[in-house]
Amino acid sequence: ADGARRSPVSNVGGRTETFSAWVQDTWSFAPGWKTVLGLRYEDWKATDGLSATASSVQSHAGRSESDLSPKAALAYQLSADTVLKASLGRAVRFPTVGELYGATSGGALSFVNDPSLRPEKSWTGELSAEKDLGSGLARATLFHETTRDALYNQLVAGTTVSRVQNVDKVRTTGVELAYAGENVLIKGMDLGASLTYADSKTVANAAFPASVGKWQPRVPRWRSTVYATYRPDARWAFTVAARYSGRQY
């Protein structure tokens, strides 16, 4: 249908680009011992950032950053059916176009982002034990993660404006139990289950002090999964599964 031409209320956008390179090596340096060492390089750029309304246009300066993310893992064959593993790694997540430049408004609230957001940086460590039960593999894992400058959407203190902001420090500690088996009880029956407990809290947040000591958003305390798959032949598979997630904030 034809209609009168209208002017846009706002126009936002931009571009991000990431170039990365990864190197990894596995080294069996002694009987029963194996290590994996890796290093990831990332070069990130943000360009063409734009925030425009019907009466004004604001261009955002381009940005460029690079970072290194190392990883190390160590495994020890404790016995013929048991392996112990330890790992430590760093991860960097650069902000997306939407997080840098997105903006909307409606009613009493508005969403205006910050083109100067810093990348999110995390260190994660794990200790695990795996045991071969014959028809399946059981695993127990203890994990810990510390994230600085975590990217979360929250209200700007004292305003009705929300935006993605850098949360100074978030810390998570937990444990996971998991099992996966093939041909359990009868041929063609695969079973699996996992149970995860995570204690995840905001440790420091200068932009929103009221959140300090509170639960990290979208990370439930308990999660679990159970599934069963039956394959009567090579062409058919029947699966039933159930998932549980505790309260998320």
Six-digit token pair at 169? 């420090």
Segment 81-124, tens digit of pLDDT: 999 999 999 999 999 998 998 877 666 667 778 899 999 999 99
Predicted pLDDT at 5: 61
Closest CA to 160 of 118, 99, 106, 115: 106
Angle at the Cα of 240 (from 237 to 243), degrees rounded to 5? Answer: 140
Backbone φ and ψ for 148, nearest 5 degrees, come out as -110, 145
Predicted pLDDT at 54: 64
Q: How far is CA 89 from the centre of its chain?
A: 13
In sequence order, the β-bridge partners of residue 91 are 122
Query: Which three-class secondary structure state does DSSP give residue 28?
Result: strand
Six-digit token pair at 118? 């810093």
Residue 76, C-beta contacts closer than 8 angstroms, at least 6 positions apart: 32, 33, 83, 84, 85
Predicted pLDDT at 105: 67
Q: Which residue has the tokens 């041909």?
A: 183
Give the pLDDT of the chain (249 residues) as one tens digit per residue.
566 666 666 788 899 999 999 999 999 999 999 999 999 999 999 999 888 766 677 888 999 999 999 999 999 999 999 999 999 999 999 999 989 988 776 666 677 788 999 999 999 999 999 999 988 999 999 999 999 999 998 888 777 788 899 999 999 999 999 999 999 989 999 999 999 999 999 999 998 898 999 999 889 999 999 999 999 999 999 999 999 999 988
Integer Cα distance of 157 and 180 in angstroms: 47
| CB distance 164 to 95 below 8 Å | yes
| CB distance 113 to 99 below 8 Å | yes
Six-digit token pair at 26? 């596995």
Integer Cα distance of 166 and 206 in angstroms: 9
Q: What is the pTM of this model?
A: 0.86
Six-digit token pair at 126? 């794990």
Predicted pLDDT at 58: 81
Integer Cα distance of 110 and 152 in angstroms: 16
In sequence order, the β-bridge partners of residue 230 are 189, 238
Residue 142, C-beta contacts closer than 8 angstroms, at least 6 positions apart: 126, 127, 128, 174, 175
The dihedral built from the CA positions of residue 95, 96, 97 and 103, taken in this order, carries a sign that is negative
Predicted pLDDT at 214: 93
